[in-house]
């Protein structure tokens, strides 16, 4: 039986009204870009527009809607993503809502995250998907969290949250960073034993080792990466799972990628170009020191990068270059559909999370993109996937 | 010139790299964020008058990174064991930057083995309204330029080739500095409460043009430690031992001999 691919609509809620020349001046859209560049009147319109776009995802047939957390930047305006997930949970009825994810090492009390997610799971009646991340390097500057303790705080916060979800309270939690006398979560999560946990990552051996552990078997998402990296890490996930004694099915693997579909390849490239280039060149922009503070990567990985003198973020980020590497899907529905099917055949992911609004892309183009994608990419792939089953059933 | 011994001692379970040379009263040099894996000219100068002991802190350079190391207080307790292990008495501790912070924390805990304290461009306290520079956000070139007042010297440093080992140790030192000093950045509010208990003769040395920890911090240390004296070195950045080594050595010699 062919497994059905799951389609998710991912949004970053960028500050689309950003004067991108300001990021040239400051050298970053993160941490140090003054918030005088943010106009609350425009922000008010943007938040409501973006929530409309996500809500539209349910009517268009997506399996799930995704929000995430970033701080002090123009790239993604959801510093407290639970609020956006909460807004969606009452305006939708059937679609899943994924918070991908909360940055666990940043908080001093992970119980707040356990509570927030349990609430969302209760309101939605089990439509909630939890994501756990470490945040990106810049976040450690904005929140003054110690990047050298990022890994250990992540693991301990994770253990605390999962125990809070699954163990009968009250119980004591005795950790190094977190200590509680009475962990006793009200409300408990709706789903048993707890909401599904997904782990978005830019690719790391340590993360894959941890996510594939037989006690966890968490769904792994590769985010905004070249297709070569996608293939490498998804193979690594399957191999590691096998070494740990279990078979990773495609639903354990997801790919998050910005995408623009239009009537023809030529129209798609013309319409997407300024916004896709703004996304990779301006909104994601930050110096390497901000991206990778000490400890964010393991010492070994960091030493490897320094030796290779990797020129992070300084590569060619033209539309052609990000299309070539597979970091941006762009073209007619036929082109994009074929690309997804080819990659899927080669790489074997069962979830695809497309970001159909990015950077400065205006509402009308975002909606057109969503409609064409839903009908002619997602819809067609679903038809193709159910067809052979019907033949087989006869 | 006296011979320099390059050796390891295991103290508190941590294999610790140590350089030691010279004769006289013991002088324990506690390095800053950049480490101290090599015998430098100022050490040779001090070794003419002192028994100079230069460990690399746990977590830095060629020393191990022990599982117990989370904060500067851990290093202070480590160095109390270190002095006991080596049988040191009447020690002059010279600490630069992070090393000054460690020295202050040691002296607050137990000064029985210490005779004098020299704090050089020391971290450890916070002057409200004057945060230190963000050494983690500066790139390698900005960092070097900000550490030296003389840009000619900074350029010389930047032009020096780095071996793979230098680069590895640089990343290791940077990681440990973040672990110890990221937040609160380069200070400990607990030290602020108790630094007044230091009763040792103390010299506070600072470069007038320090761009990482500005010279107003020298005054903060003088206020905090009863009887401390301050010497400001002109035309000098954050690393007086490297940028103005003659004045640095003379100041210590005058104070501690």
How far off is chain A from B179, nearest CA to CA, in Å?
Answer: 5
Q: Report residue A303's pLDDT band, with 50, 70 and 90 as the boundaries.
A: confident
Q: Which residues contact A308 (CB under 8 A, 6 or more apart)?
A: none
pLDDT of residue A311: 47
Cβ contact B182–A299 (<8 Å): no
Token pair for B107? 């002296």
Looking at every residue in chain A, the average pLDDT score rounds to 94
B→A contacts (Cβ < 8 Å), by residue, are 134, 136-139, 164, 167-168, 170-172, 174-179, 182-183, 185
**Res. A194: pLDDT tops 70:** yes
> Measured between alpha carbons, how far is B234 from B206 in angstroms, rounded to an integer?
9
Give this complex's ipTM: 0.95
- The answer to whether A79 contacts chain B (CB < 8 Å) is no
Which of B175, B180, B186 is the best mutation test for A, with the most CBs of A within 10 A?
Answer: B175
Chain A stretch 13-32, residues whose beta carbon is closer than 8 A to a beta carbon of chain B: 31
Question: Pick from A206, A204, A103, A106: which is nearest to A146 by CA?
Answer: A106
**Res. A268: pLDDT tops 80:** yes
**Are B94 and B121 contacting, i.e. CB atoms less than 8 angstroms apart?**
no
- The answer to whether A366 contacts chain B (CB < 8 Å) is no
**Boundaries of every domain in chain B:** 4-256
Q: Report residue A214's pLDDT band, with 50, 70 and 90 as the boundaries.
A: very high
Question: Mean pLDDT for each consecutive 10-residue tract of chain B (257 residues)?
Answer: 89 98 98 96 98 98 98 98 98 98 98 98 98 96 97 96 92 97 98 98 98 98 98 98 98 95
Q: What is the three-class DSSP state of B23?
A: coil
Cβ contact A302–B171 (<8 Å): yes
Cβ contact A307–B172 (<8 Å): no
Token pair for A95? 């679609």
- With 0-12 CB in 10 A as exposed, 13-18 as middle and 19+ as buried, what is A247? exposed
* Closest Cβ–Cβ partner in B137, B164, B175 for A290: B137
**How confident is the model over A306-327, as a mean pLDDT?**
77
Cβ contact B172–A288 (<8 Å): no
Residue A346 backbone phi and psi in degrees, to 5: -75, -40
Number of domains in chain A: 1
Cβ contact B175–A287 (<8 Å): no
Which of A148, A151, A297, A307 is the best mutation test for B, with the most CBs of B within 10 A?
Answer: A148
User: A65 lies in which domain range?
Assistant: 6-393
For the stretch A327-346, what's the b/e string if a residue is b when 16 or more beta carbons lie within 10 angstroms of its beta carbon?
A: bbbbbbbebbbebbbebbee
Chain A stretch 124-153, residues whose beta carbon is closer than 8 A to a beta carbon of chain B: 140-141, 144-149
Number of inter-chain CB pairs under 8 A, A vs B? 57
pLDDT of residue A300: 86
A1 in any annotated domain: no
| Cα atoms found within 13 Å of the Cα of residue B17, Cβ hemisphere only | 16
Cβ contact B178–A299 (<8 Å): no
A303 in any annotated domain: yes
A59 in any annotated domain: yes
Name the residue of chain B whose CA is nearest to A302's CA. Answer: B171
pLDDT of residue A308: 67
**Res. A180: pLDDT tops 50:** yes
- Pairing assessment for the beta strands B50-55 and A253-262 based on DSSP bridges: unpaired
* Closest Cβ–Cβ partner in B164, B167, B175 for A294: B175
Q: pLDDT (tens digit, 9 = 90+) per residue, A86-110?
A: 999 999 999 999 999 999 999 999 9
> Measured between alpha carbons, how far is B231 from A84 in angstroms, rounded to an integer?
56
pLDDT of residue A387: 84
**pTM of structure:** 0.95
A110 in any annotated domain: yes
**Res. A310: pLDDT tops 60:** no
Q: Report residue A9's pLDDT band, with 50, 70 and 90 as the boundaries.
A: very high
Q: Which residues of B touch A152 (CB under 8 A)?
A: none
Cβ contact A289–B174 (<8 Å): no
Cβ contact B137–A299 (<8 Å): no
Cβ contact B182–A146 (<8 Å): yes
Q: Which residues of A touch B135 (CB under 8 A)?
A: none
Q: pLDDT (tens digit, 9 = 90+) per residue, A21-59?
A: 999 999 999 999 999 999 999 999 999 999 999 999 999
Q: Report residue A393's pLDDT band, with 50, 70 and 90 as the boundaries.
A: very low
* Closest Cβ–Cβ partner in A141, A299, A306 for B137: A141
A38 in any annotated domain: yes
The region, left, alpha or beta by phi > 0 then psi within -120 to 50, assigned to residue A163 is alpha
**Are B86 and B93 contacting, i.e. CB atoms less than 8 angstroms apart?**
no
* Closest Cβ–Cβ partner in A31, A147, A307 for B182: A147
Cβ contact A289–B179 (<8 Å): no
DSSP B112-168: TTEEEEEEES--B---TT-PPP-TTTS-HHHHHHHH-S-HHHHHHHHHS---HHHHH
Cβ contact A294–B177 (<8 Å): yes
Name the residue of chain B whose CA is nearest to A148's CA. Answer: B179
Find the radius of gyration of the CA atoms of chain B: 17
Chain A stretch 145-204, residues whose beta carbon is closer than 8 A to a beta carbon of chain B: 145-149
Considering the domain delimited by B4-256, tell me its CATH architecture. 3-Layer(aba) Sandwich (3.40)
**How confident is the model over A237-241, as a mean pLDDT?**
97
Cβ contact A299–B175 (<8 Å): yes
pLDDT > 90 in chain A, percent: 90
CATH number of the domain bearing residue A102: 3.20.20.30
Q: pLDDT (tens digit, 9 = 90+) per residue, A115-133?
A: 999 999 999 999 999 999 9
CA angle at B256 for the pair B250 and B257, rounded to the nearest 5°: 85
Cβ contact A146–B164 (<8 Å): no
């Amino acid at each position: 039986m062919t497994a059905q691919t799951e389609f998710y609509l991912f949004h970053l809620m960028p500050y689309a009204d950003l004067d991108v020349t300001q990021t040239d001046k400051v050298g970053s859209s993160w941490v140090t870009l003054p918030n005088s560049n943010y106009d609350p009147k425009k922000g008010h319109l943007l938040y409501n527009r973006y929530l409309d776009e996500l809500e539209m995802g349910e009517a268009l047939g997506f399996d799930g809607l995704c929000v995430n957390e970033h701080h002090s930047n123009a790239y993604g305006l959801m510093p407290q993503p639970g609020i956006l997930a909460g807004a969606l949970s009452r305006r939708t009825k059937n679609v899943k809502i994924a918070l991908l994810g909360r940055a666990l090492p940043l908080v001093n009390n992970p119980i707040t995250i356990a509570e927030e997610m349990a609430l969302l799971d209760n309101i939605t009646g089990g439509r909630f998907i939890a994501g756990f991340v470490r945040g990106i390097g810049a976040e450690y500057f904005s929140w003054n969290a110690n990047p050298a303790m990022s890994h250990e705080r992540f693991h301990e916060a994770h253990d605390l949250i999962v125990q809070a979800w699954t163990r009968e309270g009250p119980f004591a939690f005795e950790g190094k960073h977190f200590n509680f006398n009475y962990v006793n979560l009200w409300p408990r999560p709706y789903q048993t034993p707890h909401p599904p946990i997904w782990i978005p990552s830019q690719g790391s051996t340590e993360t894959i080792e941890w996510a594939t552990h037989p006690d966890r078997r968490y769904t792994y998402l590769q985010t905004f990466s070249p297709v070569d990296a996608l293939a490498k890490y998804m193979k690594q996930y399957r191999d590691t799972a096998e070494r740990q004694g279990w078979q990773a099915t495609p639903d354990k693997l997801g790919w998050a990628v910005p995408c623009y579909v239009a009537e023809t390849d030529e129209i798609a490239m013309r319409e997407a170009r300024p916004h896709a280039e703004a996304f990779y060149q301006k909104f994601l922009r930050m110096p390497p020191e901000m991206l990778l503070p000490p400890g964010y990567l393991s010492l070994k990985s960091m030493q490897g990068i320094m030796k290779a003198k990797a020129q992070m973020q300084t590569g060619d980020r033209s539309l052609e270059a990000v299309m070539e590497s597979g970091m941006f899907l762009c073209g007619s529905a036929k082109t994009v559909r074929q690309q997804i099917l080819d990659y899927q055949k080669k790489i074997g992911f069962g979830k695809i999370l497309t970001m159909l609004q990015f950077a400065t892309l205006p509402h009308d183009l975002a909606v057109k993109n969503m409609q064409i994608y839903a009908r002619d990419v997602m819809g067609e792939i679903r038809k193709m996937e159910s067809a052979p089953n019907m033949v087989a059933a006869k | 010139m006296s011979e320099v011994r390059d050796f390891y001692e295991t103290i508190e379970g941590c294999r610790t790299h140590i350089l030691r040379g010279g004769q006289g009263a013991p002088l324990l040099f506690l390095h800053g964020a950049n480490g101290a894996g090599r015998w430098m000219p100022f050490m040779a100068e001090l070794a003419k008058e002192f028994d100079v002991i230069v460990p690399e802190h746990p977590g830095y350079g060629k020393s191990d990174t022990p599982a117990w190391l989370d904060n500067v207080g851990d290093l202070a307790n480590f160095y109390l064991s270190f002095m006991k292990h080596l049988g040191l008495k009447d020690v002059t501790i010279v600490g630069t930057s992070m090393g000054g912070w460690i020295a202050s924390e040691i002296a607050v805990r137990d000064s029985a083995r210490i005779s004098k304290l020299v704090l050089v461009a020391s971290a450890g306290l916070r002057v409200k309204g004057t945060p230190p520079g963000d050494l983690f956000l500066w790139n390698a070139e900005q960092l070097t330029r900000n550490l030296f007042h003389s840009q000619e010297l900074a350029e010389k440093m930047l032009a020096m080739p780095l071996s793979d080992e230098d680069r590895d140790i640089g990343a290791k030192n940077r990681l440990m500095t973040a672990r110890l000093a990221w937040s609160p950045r380069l200070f400990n509010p607990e030290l602020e409460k108790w630094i007044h208990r230091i009763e040792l003769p103390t010299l506070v040395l600072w470069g007038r043009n320090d761009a990482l920890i500005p010279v107003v911090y020298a005054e903060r240390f003088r206020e905090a430690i009863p009887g401390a004296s301050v010497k400001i070195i002109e035309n000098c950045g954050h690393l007086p031992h490297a940028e103005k080594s003659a004045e640095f050595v003379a100041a210590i010699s005058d104070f501690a001999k």
